[in-house]
Structure 1
Amino acid sequence: MNPVYQLLRLVRSPGWSGDVIALLAGALTTLSFTPFDIWPLALVSAALLYQGVRELNGRQALWRGWCWGLGLFLSGISWVYVSIHVHGYAPPALAALLTGGLVAGLALIPATATWIWARWLRPGQHGWLACGGFAALWVAQEFFRSWFLTGFPWLYQGYAHTDTWLVGWAPLGGVWLAGFLSVFSACLLSEGTLWRRRAHGLAAATSLIAIWGGGALLAQVEWTQPIGKPLTVALIQADIEQSRKWDPAHIDYTLATYRDMTYAQQADLVLWPETAVPVLSSNAMPFVQGMAANLAQQGTTLITGIPVDQRDSDGQMRIYNGIMVAGENTSQYLKHKLVPFGEYVPLEDVLRGLIAFFDLPMSNFSRGPAQQAPLEAAGHRLAPLICYETVYPDFAARLAAESELLISISNDSWFGKSIGPLQHLQMARMRAIESGRWMIRGTNNGVTALIDHQGHITARIPQFTQAALHGQVEPREGLTPWLRWGSWPLGALVVMLLLGCVFVRRKH
């Protein structure tokens, strides 16, 4: 028997062999992302899932999709264990249980998608529509994952193509369009019913050439233009241990470290990372503004992460995770996309006090307004993204459209020495590509980097070192199609393809 045919039988089998292949296929997607960057594995993974649910009923496809999702999230976000055990002080068994629960829960999202595919959408032998419809459903579940329960927009298919020709499509439709074309390509390559007929095979080959070759051509387009002179920047990576960050006995050391490292710099902008100042703004302003005044004498503007305490209209005190341009013309941004359990605790009245993980320092931040103005510094508008906010494509696009530079501050100490910080860096690169803007990315212990408008890293410093990164960034103006129209065009295409699948399924 033909080995390819044997493999297809195993992949399509409703038994345990097909489920194990799906589990392994999910893990292949993680290997397509940074730091591994074996991008063809993303195509293999998608093709295996597409073929794996080709002949299954709804219940079988639900289980198959869950196995695939389990492989993806178990391999891709296992660094959550570090946050829970090392920094959340949960015992190993409990940390493993909580991590497993998160992974198993997230796997339900692709499982639901494959169930819907098998139950209502799969259009039989219509190969072209099946490929397009499956890719559309893939993007739909990624859309869903970006907002459900505040969202977990991690491990999107399109990130595997940050350095491939498909990235040329990102300024048109964001990471989601790159992901759609990736999955469509994978399905098309695996769709034997098309390749067995000469005319359809020729059309499929032409489509693949157009998709990948078109991406290569689009990558050469300059969607935005420089404005003004380049700015010199200095990013301070102080490498403060997470376990000592909020320790009152360690605060003087932290502030002194930032002070001494900063006064040694000469730049237009100096950037400190997320919550670099571990003191509420009402108490820290004399220190921050004093630093800013001294730096202003040499033409330098200080930007820092800082917890901001304010009273609302009812007189209630609220604390926000903020970023501030210090000095005479102070401006600030309050983080809107908060990390569950790290910055706020869902079901707080029930969970507080149960274990130390639910009582982490500064886990009671309030959510900043959805609509906020860009930061103003050195005569330019900066789109502020605090840590987790960098991974939301639509959210970042709205801020970028009003700005000339992207600025991201983060504290990736929560990830430890895992692959998490490197995945986070790759997503930051995609935000720069989508918007056609440079990104200044400052972190506590890495990865601190400067990223140009095409997603290339122009400068970086090693993780887990105390150092300052020097370089230049180029403010840019103009809107990419993604900034102008957002996800609406791709969303319309997704809906049309899914409706087409429903129509054909009912007809036949």
Structure 2
Amino acid sequence: MSGFSRLADRVILSWGWPRRLIALGCGAVGALALAPLDLWPLLAVPMTAAVWLIDGSVAESRSGGLWSAATAGWWWGFGYHLAGLWWLGAAFLVEADKFAWAMPLGVVALPAFLAIFPAAGFALARMLWPTGAGRILILAAALALSEWLRGHVLTGFPWNVYGMMLAGPAWLAQSASLIGLYGLTALAVAIGAAPAALGTGEAGAARWRAPALATLALASMAGFGAWRIPPEPVAAVSGIRLRLMQPNLPQDAKFSPRNSEMILSHYLALSDRATSPATSGVQDATHLIWPESAFPFLLGRTPQALARIAALLPPSTTLITGAARAGEMLPGESRPPIYNSIQVVNDEGVITGSYDKVHLVPFGEYLPPFLDRLIRALGLSEFVSVPGGFASGNRRTPLLVRGLPPAAALICYEVIFPGAAMPGGPRPGFILNLTNDGWFGQTSGPYQHLAQARLRAIEEGLPLVRVANTGISAVADHYGRIRAALPLGEAGVLDTTLPRAGAAPPYARFGDLFFAGVVASLMLAGVIMRRR
């Protein structure tokens, strides 16, 4: 018996706490395949362990086996999300006197809830579990389906979907242009789980069949990526000169009204900074872009701020900025709805357009009314200092800005939802993502956020312009190649151009239709192998 087979037996035959700890630890290793480390070969650890853990539940009765598989899946998923989302704890320390008590809710309770989805995936796989290599296909289909559900149930939270383990190298990520993030997830599970066949299953040369097919799949993905990505840079849209401003303001200062003057002065001075002897500040830009929630006041109701912005902007230069916006107060309401918005300001200080965030962050930007009343009755407060939270925009619409192609505007975590990034109507010319990752400090969170935004550019065939308060602000072409960026945790400005959009790839045209076909094919192949 080889050492690999002995390792497989130890996992398969484990029970009780050793089994739970194996699942927890192997799931946690999967987080190392995510940004910023992008150690994608390590996806083999959690996926191979997943096969062996479900193998260990096969000897039990049907009901007992389902429970055993689901329990292993929960611990496996808990380890993965605990290691991948630990940085959420930083948000609770921004105003520690108010929110430190709730840190376990974000750092432990959220991963515990998200682990329900891989638990369901393990249980589904166990229901259809065949012998031999077919079980790898069943696992890939079941976990891909459970991840799709995680991205949609209860408004969805598709952060660190397993396909992101293959999204680091640009030459592997290009497959998302065909099958999207969830299709990439099915491939990641199948490729990562293939080594399990070396420790169990067929004997002789047959045991190499699954690893050989996984190697072929990786080679095909790499070949497609190398073919798709041209060696030369993508041409820029003529006549557009962007200036991205990254203020790097501490989060505890950013939302304090007493800092309004300091914040605006900082923005104005930084926006006009010369970046080299050959530049002359904002005079060189056609469009100046500031990050999400830029001000601790309502820009549209602060004429003094608009006047100062107008004084900064040269003729024909436009500002695009995040800002809270007050809507119209309806009869019977005590206050107007407040939106988390992107607003467009011309060189005369007039707001000429806006986009209101549609997909709000649960518990961060809004609470159900009964929960909001309960929190206030207990003397506690929300993260967002807007009573009752933000109101949601009605629908995703293109942002129209003078001198720019129509933009698919996405605020903060709206950009993590595959298949839901595009507004209605004609195809936009680029993706505009304004965000504030200052809540999460110098952690892996901002890197993971950028990685997901970059994958949207590949899926949709559109360039990405991303501006963040503390970083990472960047411009990427429609192949996901970063053309220019500002480092995390540094204040600065970035002068850049806008890459041209590419042709709409298959995923942009058909969405998750190909993903559904991949899952159905994997499931069918696994069932056929089971019957044989």
The residue that corresponds to 1:478 in the other structure is 503
The residue that corresponds to 1:273 in the other structure is 291
2: CA distance between counterparts of 1:420 and 1:337? Answer: 19
The residue that corresponds to 2:327 in the other structure is 310
The residue that corresponds to 2:255 in the other structure is 246
Does residue 20 (structure 1) correspond to residue 21 (structure 2)? The answer is: yes
The residue that corresponds to 1:167 in the other structure is 173
Shift of 1:290: 5.7
Shift of 1:261: 2.1
Match of 1:326 among 315, 321, 345: 345
Shift of 1:359: 5.8
Structural mapping, 1:98-113, within 5 Å? 98-113=106-121
CA shift in 2, pair 1:359/1:442, >3 Å: closer
CA shift in 2, pair 1:489/1:292, >3 Å: farther
Q: Report which stretch shifted further, 77-86 or 159-168.
A: 159-168
2:11 corresponds to which letter in structure 1?
A: V
2:260 corresponds to which letter in structure 1?
A: I
CA shift in 2, pair 1:202/1:10, >3 Å: closer
Aligned 8 A contact 1:281 1:309 in 2: no
The residue that corresponds to 1:177 in the other structure is 183
Does residue 155 (structure 1) correspond to residue 179 (structure 2)? The answer is: no
2: CA distance between counterparts of 1:282 and 1:302? Answer: 13
The residue that corresponds to 1:340 in the other structure is 362
Structural mapping, 1:48-67, within 5 Å? 48-56=49-57, 57-67=65-75
Shift of 1:314: 5.2
The residue that corresponds to 1:434 in the other structure is 459
Aligned 8 A contact 1:84 1:357 in 2: no
TM-score by length of 2: 0.87
2: CA distance between counterparts of 1:262 and 1:287? Answer: 15
CA shift in 2, pair 1:98/1:476, >3 Å: closer
Deviations 1:215-267 (A, max 9, x none): 43244326998674263211111122211222221111111111222233221
Q: Report which stretch shifted further, 142-151 or 205-214.
A: 205-214
Match of 2:385 among 358, 361, 366: 361
Deviations 1:284-339 (A, max 9, x none): 35533662575251x32210001111116657421110001222681211101111
Match of 2:429 among 398, 401, 404: 404
CA shift in 2, pair 1:200/1:23, >3 Å: closer
CA shift in 2, pair 1:88/1:456, >3 Å: farther
2: CA distance between counterparts of 1:314 and 1:480? Answer: 47
Match of 1:137 among 138, 142, 148: 142
2:4 corresponds to which letter in structure 1?
A: V
Unpaired segments ≥5 residues, structure 1: none
Secondary structure of 1:136's aligned partner: helix
1: CA distance between counterparts of 2:329 and 2:10? Answer: 60
The residue that corresponds to 1:187 in the other structure is 193
Shift of 1:79: 1.5
2: CA distance between counterparts of 1:194 and 1:82? Answer: 45
Shift of 1:386: 0.6
Q: Report which stretch shifted further, 419-428 or 376-385.
A: 376-385
The residue that corresponds to 1:116 in the other structure is 124
1:445 corresponds to which letter in structure 2?
A: T
CA shift in 2, pair 1:106/1:236, >3 Å: same
1: CA distance between counterparts of 2:310 and 2:424? Answer: 25
CA shift in 2, pair 1:287/1:475, >3 Å: farther
Deviations 1:349-399 (A, max 9, x none): 333343535364136101112332333342311111111111111112557
CA shift in 2, pair 1:243/1:204, >3 Å: closer
Secondary structure of 2:252's aligned partner: helix
Secondary structure of 1:274's aligned partner: coil
2:506 corresponds to which letter in structure 1?
A: P
Amino-acid identity (%): 29
Does residue 445 (structure 1) correspond to residue 470 (structure 2)? The answer is: yes
Aligned 8 A contact 2:195 2:210 in 1: no
Secondary structure of 2:241's aligned partner: strand
Shift of 1:409: 0.7
CA shift in 2, pair 1:113/1:252, >3 Å: same
Q: Report which stretch shifted further, 22-31 or 192-201.
A: 192-201
Shift of 1:2: 3.0
Unpaired segments ≥5 residues, structure 2: 58-64, 273-280
Shift of 1:178: 1.9
CA shift in 2, pair 1:59/1:136, >3 Å: same
CA shift in 2, pair 1:114/1:206, >3 Å: closer
Aligned 8 A contact 1:309 1:320 in 2: yes
The residue that corresponds to 2:245 in the other structure is 236
CA shift in 2, pair 1:277/1:358, >3 Å: closer
Does residue 7 (structure 1) correspond to residue 12 (structure 2)? The answer is: no
TM-score by length of 1: 0.90
Aligned 8 A contact 2:88 2:106 in 1: no
Shift of 1:20: 1.5
Aligned 8 A contact 2:398 2:409 in 1: no
CA shift in 2, pair 1:400/1:270, >3 Å: farther
The residue that corresponds to 2:60 in the other structure is none
